[in-house]
């Protein structure tokens, strides 16, 4: 079997951010692509990962802009094109930080535009839902990082909560029927040069999505 190809969205928006995700993904044996059109990415790659970034335009979930920051309508539109392509191709879709928010909104959910500034740094425990993908990736429990000021509000139809913080913030969601798995925390900043006793190893997340992609590719 050829090496699995993961398309990572966001290279043209931040090469430094892209390279962090690239290194973490390659550690789990993915071949990474970042320069393909939506149609070519969905055709040539086995899965897609949506990365962190600024806030989505609240109009996408039926709200006016109140506390959202750094809105980039062009990025929103680009990401929707890639989501359209991979959804139609029935290929696995993954998301981190902005990525979880994007996926939730695309499938009909909404966001809290601001949950406070105390979620932008530091490590914390998360409460893992039994038999969720986070449970499978971290069977001994986990500590995650935190770097966000928005979060999932209304959960999109067909999705399940995979992990939640002590404060009730949704930390991960999944839709196994569609092979969609996403986190609010940043596993790419919890491995390799970022590896710390403060966090669980983010490699577990990338190993999990690699195995999901592998199983899908073998059984399609």
Is 186 noted as a catalytic residue in this protein? yes
Give me the catalytic one of 33, 79, 174, 188: 188
> Which residues, 6+ apart, have CB-to-CB distance to 125 below 8 Å?
141, 142, 143, 144, 166
**26 part of the active site:** no
Active-site residue, from 33, 97, 171, 174: 97
Q: Are 104 and 148 in contact (CB under 8 A)?
A: no
- Which one, of 51, 56, 65, 133, lies nearest residue 94 by Cα? 51
Is 97 one of the catalytic residues? yes
Catalytic residues: 97, 186, 188
């Amino acid at each position: 079997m050829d090496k699995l190809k993961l398309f990572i969205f966001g290279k043209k928006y931040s090469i430094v951010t892209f390279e962090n995700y690239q290194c973490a993904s390659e550690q789990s044996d993915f071949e990474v692509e970042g320069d393909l059109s939506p149609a070519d990415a969905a055709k040539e790659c086995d899965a897609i990962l949506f990365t962190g970034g600024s806030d989505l335009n609240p109009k996408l979930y039926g709200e006016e802009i109140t506390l959202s920051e750094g809105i980039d309508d062009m990025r929103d539109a680009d990401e929707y094109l890639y989501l359209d392509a991979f959804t139609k191709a029935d290929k696995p879709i993954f998301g981190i930080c902005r990525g979880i928010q994007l996926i939730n909104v695309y499938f009909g959910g909404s966001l809290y535009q601001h949950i406070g500034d105390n979620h932008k740094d530091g490590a914390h425990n998360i409460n893992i839902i039994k038999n969720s993908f986070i449970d499978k990736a971290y069977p001994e429990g986990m500590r995650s990082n935190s770097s966000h000021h928005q979060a999932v509000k209304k959960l999109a139809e067909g999705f399940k909560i995979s992990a939640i913080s002590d404060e009730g913030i949704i930390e991960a969601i999944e839709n196994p029927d569609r092979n969609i798995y996403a986190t609010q925390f940043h596993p790419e900043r919890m491995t390799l040069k970022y590896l710390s006793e403060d966090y669980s190893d983010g490699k577990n997340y990338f190993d999990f999505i690699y195995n999901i992609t592998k199983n899908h590719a073998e059984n399609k």
